Amino acid sequence: MNTSVSMPPELREEVDETCQSHGYRDRSEFISEALESFREEKQPEVEAAPV
């Protein structure tokens, strides 16, 4: 899925600086990874059933 969103200039500058300092090729790569990490953090932890 390809979705386009607009960002305020301040956020765009911050994202661009982060991309450059962490070696991302472009904003979309950085944002995709950030969203994936966010989703993983929000997944409820499943406790193992007692044996």
Task: For residue range 3-45, list pLDDT tens digits in order.
Answer: 777 889 999 999 999 999 999 988 889 989 999 998 888 776 6
How high is the pLDDT of residue 9? 92
Q: Diameter of the chain by CA atoms?
A: 54
How high is the pLDDT of residue 18? 92
> What SS3 class is residue 41?
helix
How high is the pLDDT of residue 17? 94
How high is the pLDDT of residue 6? 86
How high is the pLDDT of residue 33? 92
Angle among Cα 50, 38, 18 to the nearest 5 degrees reads 145
- Please check whether residue 19 is in contact with residue 30, taking contact to mean a CB–CB distance below 8 angstroms: yes
